[in-house]
Amino acid sequence: MILLGVTGCIAAYKSCEILRLLQKAGQDVKVVMTEHACEFVGPTTFRALSGHEVAVELFDEPGDPIHHISLAKEPDLFLIAPATANVIAKIAQGVADDLLTTTALATKAPLVIAPAMNVEMWRDEATQANIATLEARGCTIVAPDSGYLACGDVGAGRLAEPQIIAEAALDGLTRTRDMEGMRVLVTAGPTQEPLDPVRYLSNGSSGKSGYAIAAEARDRGAAVTLVAGPVALPDPEGVEVIHVRTALEMLDACKAPFDAADIAIFVAAVSDWRPQERASDKIKHDGDDMTVTFVPNPDIAATLAAHKGKTKVVTYAAETQDVLENAKKKLVAKNADLVVANDVSGELGMGSTDNRVWFVSKDATDELPVLPKRRIACALFDALLRK
């Protein structure tokens, strides 16, 4: 059974279609609503569509004084669509002040959340931190679409299409722990190469792709080691995380986990060069030109994959031109089994929630549509396990 949570948002009417799509897929669906959601769509509508009583109040079930606990034990999956910024914040912080949020806190079922809100609310640092917290706990986030919003603004925040949300819920139901007993190494984020105590060479990698891959491997049953450069993301629960700063530190941290890994996925945007010398004190601005000599950093993936044995090696290729041609070159140069290529010359790629990638192997090149990074991670492991 799927429990569908509906919160107080203008997009609540789309929950009716989501419910119907889940039913057409053979799922029994029950509905829990917040009081504010009832201002947009009445419980009677969901009662008629689902064939079940609709839960709204904490004590609206006379025969069950602790309804939120019994309700939490029923579902195989809890889908909240739409989810407002307020409800997302409550669940992330463990606030339980109504039936929906107490049920979310009490259930052991997988949680799928489809946010919907104003573009500025979606972009707000607090909302993004709450989203990251939920993803770190294993929650699936169906990222909102961009477009014209009910408030008149244009941008990200519109509820994803019902079909996409329903598919995400169904995927959550069928998720298998097909990587039990496997060990996975993932690198993520940027590295920083210090010039002096306050300046460094780096890039705009957020670490989102690597963290999504680590979480996906964890949820499929693998033992995961995540070697992360400096990022502003919470550590995924149930994952061994090693924090590093420089490329040399990342290489050193990867050596032992790589030797034990069945799959190694090098997602980190590692600095190709580092200053030859690091000043012990801050370099003062004196108005003159400054010349800095850079030396190459080791290629972490190529260095380790040169003696990979049976380990499957995946590298990411962030390119701004000749994307596929460069990916094919890296496939050989890094002794990789698969290269995930993406074009970072536009809005997608570093720092974005979604991405558009190609899976490049010696036998084929498969193009994926624009997808959330967690869904790309799922597709990546599906592809690797087929090989």
Q: What is the mean pLDDT of residues 221-230?
A: 97
Look up residue 262 and give its two tokens.
Answer: 């069945």
Q: Are residues 353 and 235 part of one domain?
A: yes
Q: Say what the pLDDT of residue 3 is.
A: 97
Q: Are residues 190 and 167 part of one domain?
A: no
Angle between helices 85-93 and 99-106 (to 10 degrees): 40
Rounded CA separation 360/331 (Å):
8
- Asked if residue 224 lies in contact with residue 217, where contact means CB atoms within 8 angstroms, the answer is yes
Q: Choose one of 148, 174, 200: the last residue of a domain.
A: 174
The CA-based angle 159-164-170, given to 5 degrees, is: 125
Q: Are residues 188 and 158 part of one domain?
A: no
Q: Are residues 219 and 86 part of one domain?
A: no
Q: What is the mean pLDDT of the chain?
A: 91
Q: What is the mean pLDDT of residues 341-351?
A: 78
pLDDT higher than threshold 70 for residue 65: no
Q: Choose one of 174, 196, 211: the last residue of a domain.
A: 174
Task: Look up residue 38 and give its DSSP letter.
Answer: G
Q: Are residues 196 and 274 part of one domain?
A: yes
Look up residue 32 and give its two tokens.
Answer: 């829990």
pLDDT higher than threshold 90 for residue 319: no
Q: Say what the pLDDT of residue 146 is.
A: 78
Q: How far is CA 351 from CA 9, 46, 207, 348, 355, in A?
A: 27, 38, 8, 8, 10
Rounded CA separation 39/228 (Å):
45
As a whole number of Å, the CA-based R_g of the chain is: 23
Q: Say what the pLDDT of residue 331 is.
A: 94
- Residues across the chain: 387
Of the listed ranges 204-213, 264-273, 367-376, the least confidently predicted one is: 367-376
Q: How far is CA 103 from CA 34, 58, 69, 75, 325, in A?
A: 11, 10, 7, 10, 50
Rounded CA separation 15/322 (Å):
42
Q: Are residues 166 and 188 part of one domain?
A: no
Q: Are residues 208 and 323 part of one domain?
A: yes
Helical H segments across the chain, by residue range? 14-24, 43-50, 67-73, 85-93, 99-106, 119-123, 125-136, 162-174, 208-219, 247-260, 300-305, 323-333, 373-386
Q: Catalytic residue positions?
A: 151
Q: Say what the pLDDT of residue 66 is.
A: 58
Q: What's the domain range around 308? A: 183-386
* CATH code assigned at 314: 3.40.50.10300
Q: Are residues 128 and 90 part of one domain?
A: yes
Q: What is the mean pLDDT of residues 313-318?
A: 93
Q: Choose one of 129, 147, 174: the last residue of a domain.
A: 174
pLDDT higher than threshold 70 for residue 60: no
Domain count, the chain: 2
pLDDT higher than threshold 70 for residue 61: no
Q: Are residues 134 and 44 part of one domain?
A: yes
- Cis check for the bond before 82: say yes or no (omega within 30 of 0): yes
Which residue type sits at 6?
A: V
Closest CA to 143 of 128, 159, 162, 130: 159
Q: Say what the pLDDT of residue 224 is.
A: 97
Look up residue 251 and give its two tokens.
Answer: 């290489």
The CA-based angle 295-298-304, given to 5 degrees, is: 175
- Kindly report, residue by residue over 106-164, the tens digit of the pLDDT: 999 999 999 999 998 999 999 999 999 998 888 999 989 877 676 677 778 889 999 99
Q: Are residues 147 and 231 part of one domain?
A: no
Q: pLDDT grade, residue 285 (50/70/90)?
A: confident
